[in-house]
Amino acid sequence: MGKKKIKKKDEKTGEETEVEDYDWAAITKAIKAFVDDYNSVVEQAGDSDTKNVLRNAAWMTGITDKAQNLLSKVGITIGKGNKLELDEDALKEANITTLKSLFTGHGSFADKISQKAGSLSIVAANATATARTKGVTYTRNGNYSVTLSKLFSSTVDKKVGDKDKSSDIYSKITDKKEDS
C-alpha cells in the first residue's frame, strides 16, 4: 500500500494537480467491500442450525471483538448483530500505519478473518454435502458455502495500484468485486 501519483482538484480554483498520496478512494472501496462481505458471512452463519458453522462464526466475531479498539481508529465499529459499520469520513482520516497493521500481512486482522472464513466455508460445505447424501434439502447451508468461498478465495493480500507481490487486502477485495 504505497503512495502513487493521483490527480487532485482544488475545490476553490478548480485547478488539477498531480500529487503523491494514497489512493483513498480505492482504499475506501476495498474496506467497504470487506465490511459488506464480513457482514454477509455473519448474517448467513447466524441463520445456520449447524453447530460447527455457529462455532466458527463465533470465533470469527471474537477475533473482531478483540480488534475493536484498532478497528475504531480506522472508522470501523461493531454494531447490532456483530455486524461491522464503516464511517467513511473517519476512514479517510485514519493513520495509514494502523490500516496496514489491520489489513496486511500474516497474522493481521484481515488474515485471521480470512482463515476463519475459510474454515466456515469448509464446515458449511461439509454440512451441505452431508445433508444431500441423507436426502435432506439444506439450502441455507448451501448458500453459506458460496458466500464464504467468495470471501475466502478473494485473495486477501495484494497492493492497491502496485504490481508488487507483497500485498494487502485492498486490491484483492476490489478485484473480487470487479469480477462479480
Q: What residues contact residue 174 under an 8 Å CB cut-off, 6+ apart? A: 26, 29, 30, 33, 160
Three-state DSSP state, 85: strand
Please report whether residue 15 resides in a domain: no
Q: Which domain holds residue 159?
A: 22-173
Q: Based on the structure, what is the number of domains in the chain?
A: 1
Please report whether residue 65 resides in a domain: yes
pLDDT recorded at residue 161 = 36
Please report whether residue 145 resides in a domain: yes
Please report whether residue 11 resides in a domain: no
Please report whether residue 3 resides in a domain: no
Please report whether residue 180 resides in a domain: no
Please report whether residue 108 resides in a domain: yes
pLDDT recorded at residue 156 = 36
Please report whether residue 121 resides in a domain: yes
Average pLDDT per block of 10 residues along the chain, 180 residues long? 67 78 86 94 86 91 96 97 95 93 93 90 82 53 43 38 38 42
